[in-house]
Structure 1
Amino acid sequence: MFNSIEKTIISKLSGDIPLVKEPYKKIAEEVGITEKEVLDKVKDLQDRGILRRVGGILYHRQAGFKYNAMVVWVIPKNKIEETAKTICLFKEVTHCYQRPTFDGWPYNLFTMIHGESTDYCENVIGQIAKSIKIQDYKVLYSLKELKKSSKRYFD
């Protein structure tokens, strides 16, 4: 299903991407092909539905964001898209997901906010609530970071 070059590229992309100005060029040098060939292979893997995305993990605590607030909102179903677009305009929001509701859990929109203090996070949450005109929400602060890793392939 995969040739050796594809396996090597997938392995490199599932690990730590080099922190250099041109990471795909560095990967190409390590694989022994050109940067264009790496990018073409990545595009082909995406087109074939094998590779969904290439992402990065921000270790937010190491970056100085010690407080992480998961804000869960009750949003009318017909306002989800519009509300999410407004919320995503706030630079402090790093994640925004629609989720199903359950008995006793009416929250259908989840957002993650990172900040240097609870006061900072609360201020941002207040601004968002005012902007979207929603007061039905809960704030859940992270107590401990338990996992920060990606699935590795072809190691």
Structure 2
Amino acid sequence: MDAIDEQILIATQDGIPLTGSPFRDIAQRLGLSEEEVVERIRLMKEKGMIRRFGASIGHRDIGILANAMCIWNVPEERVENVGRIMASFPEVTHCYERPRRPGWEYNLFTMVHSYTREDCEQVAARISESTGIKDYRLLFSEREFKKTGVRL
């Protein structure tokens, strides 16, 4: 990675401009051609310097205001299968296995996003029905303090 690659990563890590020609806009800002910016991103991805170049939507901006961390008590022998089922729900954006701790029996965590708290509760109920896991709780977010991707 050279200094130009680094400049491109810094210019894109907080998102690309929402214009009809975002890579041309970035190129102009950096004094490069649009083709060079696109080619360098492609090469960084090909070489494994970056794993992916994707987009994320600000869910609050489109009205998805409720989210809940669903915590599940899943028998160890079922974690793999249940985790795959839970992860298949489109409303689930994250699905993790974590170790149990003394006094904390929950070992599978899913993040559910929807328009209302009631929607989140219904999604969790559907997941419970699909997996047969009845021991779960929903922890609703009260406030977001920070949300960023990896930074260079």
Tell me how far apart the structure 2 counterparts of residues 99 and 22 of structure 1 sit (CA, whole Å).
42
* 1:10 counterpart residue number: 9
CA, structure 1 residues 45+130, in 2 after alignment: closer, same or farther (shift >3 Å)? same
The amino acid of 1:148's aligned partner reads K
Match of 1:130 in 2: 129
- How far the C-alpha of 1:10 sits from its partner, in A, is 0.9
Q: Tell me which protein shows more helix as a share of its residues.
A: 2
Distance in 2, Cα, partners of 1:6 & 1:109: 38
How far, CA to CA, are the matches of 1:8 and 1:112 in structure 2?
Answer: 33
CA distance in 1, matches of 2:76, 2:23: 42
CA distance in structure 2 between the aligned counterparts of 1:16 and 1:40, rounded to whole angstroms? 18
* Separation in structure 1 between the aligned mates of residue 58 and residue 72 of structure 2, nearest angstrom: 25
Show structure 2 runs of 5+ residues with no match. Answer: none
SS in 1 for 2:143: coil
Q: Provide the rounded CA distance (Å) in 1 between the counterparts of 2:114 and 2:78.
A: 27
Letter aligned with residue 81 of structure 2: E
How many percent of aligned residue pairs carry the same amino acid?
Answer: 37
Superposed CA offset, 1:41-97 (max 9, x none):
234334554324435454323321221111011223333232222122222112212
TM-score, structure 1 length as denominator?
0.79
Alignment of 1:114-129 (within 5 A): 114-129=113-128
Structure 1 alignment gaps of length 5 or more: none
Partner of 1:71: 70
Farther-moved stretch of structure 1 (64-73 vs 81-90): 81-90
CA distance in 1, matches of 2:64, 2:44: 34
Root-mean-square deviation over aligned CA pairs: 2.5
Does 2:120 correspond to 1:101?
no
Summarize the Cα distance change of 1:26–1:68 in structure 2 as closer, same or farther, 3 Å threshold.
Answer: same
* Preserved CA contact (<8 Å) 1:13 1:54: no
What residue is the counterpart of 2:90 in the other structure?
91
Pairing 1:139–2:132 present: no
